[in-house]
Amino acid sequence: MIVAVDAGHGGEDPGARGRHGTREKDVTLAIARRLKARIDQEPNMRAVMVRDGDYFVPLGDRVTKSRRVQADLLVSIHADAWVGPEARGSSVFTLSQRPTSEAARWLAKQENDADLVGGVNLDGKDRFLAQTLLDLSQTATSDHSLKLGGAVLAELGHINTLHKARVEQAGFAVLKAPDVPSILVETAFISNPEEEKRLNDQAYQDKLARAILAGIKRYFARNPPRPQGPLAMN
């Protein structure tokens, strides 16, 4: 079972910044590395880092890499931010072109402003058939993304306040792989001084990694990954 672990932002894109100078790109990489280490300790599981250093990866390339390694899941790690310091808590998002809230729409726009995402290769197929196959794939993937998101959100609720009690949806470009269930985890609000301090704490970073892994394992227990081989969908 392969999990693509995506540390949000990087390089010239620092992401959000906390009141004490913490950069989102740094805490997301630290948490992503801890999550990879824990996944790699699990039998029959392996993590692939989408970004493993302080460099910029276009959103489309993040999707492409997760598909190229035949990932069963994509987990994108972020830290939320708001104009005021009072907002707090963890959130989980999946893809939808119809955002579940205005805040979700705003957050997706902030993340997507970096660049544009590429699509799945459907060259050589009849246009109507290709669109039908893509729609079917995206419907199934969306359903599994929601299941994964719900499992991870429940585990995050054990270690932090939940900003939203349900999985939110918005048009995040990094979640647009049509055949890889994908979630975006907003670990905490970097704009909240208390949560910014916790995001810099190594023990808390490890708690977040353990909670995300527990959600992934719960999802896999209920939804075994698709078979790999000549009959698997490309």
For the chain (234 residues), the mean pLDDT of every run of 10, in chain order, is 97 96 98 98 97 94 94 96 95 77 57 45 48 50 93 98 94 86 97 98 98 98 70 37
Return the closest-CA partner of residue 52 out of 110, 11, 93. 11
Cα distance between residue 74 and residue 123, in whole Å = 24
Q: State pTM to two decimals.
A: 0.83
**Residue 115 is encoded by which pair of tokens?**
């660049």
CATH topology of domain 2-222: Aminopeptidase (3.40.630)
**Residue 91 is encoded by which pair of tokens?**
């959130």
Q: Parse the chain into domains and list their residue ranges.
A: 2-222
Give the model's pLDDT for residue 22. 98
As beta bridge partners, residue 81 has none
Give the model's pLDDT for residue 231. 35
